[in-house]
Chains A and B, each alone.
Chain A
């Protein structure tokens, strides 16, 4: 019972913080709202029994990605037109399109989701050992492709740095 209440509480917090991201003016507040969403989702993952992903969510997303983002926001405190006028001219069509998209997705999900009560056994399934064995036995190719992606990202970041240096010089 308490788990269900906490699950709804965390999920509701995530949704409210995501809505706040759309209306807040300063990028730093938007970043804090996103961090609240991510922490709430980590709570949801922990309640679902997927502790590995909950820890990674806090460590990688909040600890690395968002710290980098906050650093960039503090570096670039440009109060330009985007600070005065938050929304682009696509506000009304964007909202309408999102409502239509939400309706279509809700209809599709309502028809195809399995009936309640067939949930798998959580908890033991996502032990770190099982996760690691599955990862390196079945998904080794994906692991290698991701490492190639990381190397490409490092090279791309260095290239961007070089372009910036040339532009300054």
Chain B
């Protein structure tokens, strides 16, 4: 591909991915308020626009125009840097996520992915593992006991669950023999017995369970939202933040949720694979549609879990991660490796 075409295509894809991701972030918040509302016998947002659909826009404007308070007792450089760090790393990982096959545009084959690196999965893990600095530093720089406790909990929790998360993915890597997200999806094409798709979820059911649990903990969501437990820590690590700085933590959290949902789709549910039919334009767009539908299901499960489960106690959280998930992940890894080695 010509270098100019490559640069233009990359710029367009980056802009498009950013717009789509931020819109998705805004509307996952809307979806969450709506779904949790209905689960609790309430309506959720209804006033702004039909079904409250313009609520995210109203919230965005409100965040922009709110007074941006900086408490006098904070350590200013890191206090300002923390939300920026959180949101940068949350948005970066989307650059590595493929959403479909190559699409022919103006005679060029454009891959539906900003950057196709051959260690894609590791790169995503690396970027998300840096995101914890945003939360940890916000807790420390706020110089307030609630924030500090929230930041400490977040970093301890994320380090603990990152091990189980990484180990649960090794099974998928062994089955596909690659770190490239594109190749992992291609390894899942075809079907068992002619009608069951060859998705990794079937041989890696335990791995998927571990991934889901660890991912909920990594994104600080209920039932693992100890870092912002409002009943004991006010709002945890972002207690001292207001206006757009607070909104940036919010954006980072939901962007991380979407990344986790994208990874689950790619690694365990065959990515963009699905029935393809119709004219050429439909054949190019259907994979993207399947991908988005699967991601949507994961976001919905996230919200469903939030509407269902209470919060863990802190010792339960640590015991669950270290004494249950980690041994289970190691056992799953050993069994998968043995079976693959025996079949080879």
Instruction: Decide if A and B are genuine partners.
Output: no
